Structure 1
Amino acid sequence: MSGFLGKLVLLVLVIVGVWLVFRAATRSAVPGKAKPRANRAGRQAGAETIEDMRACARCGTYVPAQGGQACGRGDCPLLPRV
């Protein structure tokens, strides 16, 4: 019976080992899953400021509320007047 029990324990160890290797490989390959490091100012690396957005009155495309650029349509209300 000890031969069967030894093989069973070995099988469980192999399955757990494969699972751990697979989990470590997929964790490093998936972007955005790793925790970003904080820089000296205490902010997260790559953190950007969040802007309020508003919908274009003509086409509904969301543009920044402050200093938004034109959406590209000829009748865009954000186009500079000449």
Structure 2
Amino acid sequence: MNQLVSEVASALNQPKEKISVEMVFRSLYYVAKAVARGENPDVVTYLVERAKLFGLVKATRKRHRATEQISQLIWQSVPLS
């Protein structure tokens, strides 16, 4: 499961921590249904194409956005003069 999450994360250009393992697991049901319909989808491609529909990428909370902005202000490169 971790390998699948890692592959989805790299395909979406997101850090692994931003991908919901639970939602990847839940979306495997729909991959199985596609196989039952006679399709032969690549699992990672199927999940990446429907990532927003399945909610695979975790939302950024307001407090996390504020913390990230503060961190960027602190750690941004300051030109040395």
- TM-score normalised to the size of structure 2? 0.22
Which entry has the higher C-alpha Rg, 1 or 2? 1
Greater helix content: 2
If asked which structure has higher relative contact order (CA below 8 Å, sep 6+), I would say 2
